[in-house]
Chain A
Amino acid sequence: MSLVSGPGRAQVAGGNLPNELQLAVEKHVKYIQSLDTRKDELEYWLTEHLRLNGVYWGLTALHLLGHPDALPRHETVEFVLSCQHDNGGFGPAPGHDPHMLYTVSAVQILVTVDALDELEKRGKTGREGVGRYIAQLQDRDDGSFAGDEWGETDTRFLFGALNALSLMRLLSYIDVTKAVAYVQACANFDGGYGVSPGAESHAGQIFVCVGALAIADRLDLVDKDRLGSWLSERQLNNGGLNGRPEKLEDVCYSWWVMSSLAMIGKLGWIDKDKLSKFILQCQDPELGGMADRPGDAVDVFHTVFGIAGLSLIGYPGLKPVDPIYCMPLEVVNRAVGR
């Protein structure tokens, strides 16, 4: 799976657009399928440190587009297993050190293709070993999570831990109460959340913090009116969403902002029609894929979050996405036993 950008480019805003913008489903499927065939490009290798994330992004997009089998399941599982280390953690590709980010992607992929049993049979450790790797990254004093042994702390890792452990039904491995307390420590006056205590509100961090609270069943702690207001102000006149005040719109915020609004029950506070049009303008309808904004080069990261955003606002023909996990709703329901 290549994380190279292009070759497609999103349509330029204000160009000759057809009156009825449509989601170019088949083109996006072909685009994602083509990504692993680009090993001759330098950028393929320069993005190796994101490879497993890329597989999760591509796979999730395909599922939401209704093409769950477009990537070969066996090869996908083989690749995931090849990324695992003896300590249970996963790197982004063979030869890269284990890290929370890729461990979470690994679990999400295996759950999506229903291959946790293959992890038990052929992984370096089974799911309990993965759970232990994740759990030992928690600081038992303040509840935060590091990304790896070198100690970087970020609320993204906390969410990742709750996400992966709940999917494997191993939440009891960590101190959820302390994790919730740490999220609370990251709350700001505007109702949002940051990277760590004291950090500015940012839509990405809001998604992970609210998601963590949702998994811990503590959404009661969120100031939904205040946060909903701040999030609704992310929508700009062009319909797109930004991640914090005075920043540019970016299609990936269609996910971070919208999923957060969905979790607190305020999806109606955004103009869905205008957002939908903006997202569709971010796609290359000929070569497939989506870019951060009209005119830019596409990549698989922006593709999945644009599609997930469309699914959240009910774009016809897409599978429902789970706003907490950014995975197909039916997959999550099955995994966590809803």
Chain B
Amino acid sequence: MTTRLLELNPEYYTIWNYRRLLLRSFFEGAIPSTSNNKNDSTEHGTVQQYITDDLAFLLPLLRKFPKCYWIWNYRLWLLAEAARLLPSPVVYQLWQKELGLVGKMLTLDSRNFHGWGYRRQVVSALEELSVAMGSASASMTEHEFVYTTKMIESNLSNFSAWHRRSKLIPRLLSERNASHAERREFLEKELELVQRALWADPDSKDQSLWFYHQYLISNFKPSCSPQADAIIPDLPDADKLAYLQAQIEDLLEMLDGAETCKWIYQRLLELSLMSKSLNDQWPVASSDLEIWINKLLELDPLRKGRWEDLRKQIFPW
């Protein structure tokens, strides 16, 4: 009965709640809470069947309503019940299947934040179970990092994948016990990756690359800013200035042939401001700064208010 209602209207969340209560009573019937033994296979067989059947029931609903909060949550609840009632190896298998499922959902829509959120939960559950089962190498950070590379290679304009990548990096470098030199190499490689893509088409309407670039260069901010997730936490100011200078030069080259790309001017101004905040000197002539701001006003009049504020920040008098 609840099945038919939910197929018609999966947003009727009270029915999902009712279904949970029904399932709970079936579970109680199969494995009374007085039973201490998580390893009795007949009891578990029944519960496992209920759970896998309901997971299967959800699949077509999920495909039809991929952005319905209630469906994703109910699915998580089923897996939490599995973790509560079934032996770890069984639960691990269930979560492994979920990894496959969420991979497919993200192939269908790589910007579905429910999917990405679900993926984080799946990875976290698999890691915890691995630890519980005594595995030495439970972390999936490298695996997930490779996944973001794959997603980006198949579609550069995937802000969700770039975002995920940015969140994995601090943990990745920490797990690798990366030395200062290794961290520098890592950052340089990431910059190269983004810049190669930007060179190909700087003026694409796609913002993802420019935002990721902004994330990378924020490593060159003065150290008084919070540096908790910095790729290179102990980078000396002199080195930051050198990196900033190299970035400015790269972007000036990129400008050649892309003079109508507002992002380049925006980034040049940001880099100049960062440089100034480090050694109190502008890295370029103030006539250049003036030209860039005017270019922004010309090319991006929608955000005029922001460029005027930027002008006041650079030329306060």
Contact = CB atoms under 8 A, between A and B. Distances in A.
Contact of B11 (A49, A194, A270): A49
Contacts of B218: 189
A98 to B, nearest CB: 10
B305 A246 contact: no
A190 B14 contact: no
A305 to B, nearest CB: 18
Contacts of A268: 305-306, 308-309
B166 interface: yes
Nearest to B225: A223
Nearest to A205: B113
B13 A97 contact: yes
B197 to A, nearest CB: 15
Interface stretch (B131-139, B156-164, B250-258): B156-164
Interface in A252-286: 266, 268-271, 274
A189 B215 contact: yes
B211 interface: yes
Interface string B123-144: 0000000000000000000000
Interface in A15-36: none
A79 to B, nearest CB: 17
B302 A95 contact: no
A199 B113 contact: yes
B175 interface: no
Interface residues of B, number: 40
Contacts of A91: 14
A97 B20 CA distance: 13
Interface string A207-247: 00000000000000000000011101101010000001111
A200 interface: yes
Given A200-B113, A200-B160, A245-B208, A269 B13 contact: no
Interface centre among B20, B229, B301, B303 (most CB of A within 10 A): B303
Q: How many interface residues does chain A have, given as a range?
A: 35 or more
B196 interface: no
Contacts of B67: none
Contacts of B13: 49, 96-97, 99
A150 B20 contact: yes
Contact of B117 (A188, A190, A196, A245): A196
A202 interface: yes
B81 to A, nearest CB: 11
Contacts of B211: 189-190, 230, 245
B159 A244 contact: yes
A141 to B, nearest CB: 16
Interface centre among B111, B116, B117, B302 (most CB of A within 10 A): B302
A271 B208 contact: no
Interface in A298-335: none
B17 A150 contact: yes
B303 A232 contact: yes
Nearest to B302: A271
Interface in B261-317: 301-306, 308-309
Given A46-B9, A190-B211, A274 B302 contact: yes
Interface string A173-196: 000000000000000111000111
Contacts of A202: 113
A198 interface: yes
A235 to B, nearest CB: 5
A249 to B, nearest CB: 12
Contacts of B157: 246
A60 interface: no
Given A99-B13, A152-B73, A269-B306, A245 B207 contact: yes
Interface of A: 46, 48-50, 91, 95-97, 99, 148, 150-152, 154, 188-190, 194-196, 198-202, 228-230, 232-233, 235, 237, 244-247, 266, 268-271, 274
Given A49-B13, A245-B159, 5 more contacts: A48-B12, A49-B11, A49-B14, A96-B13, A233-B207
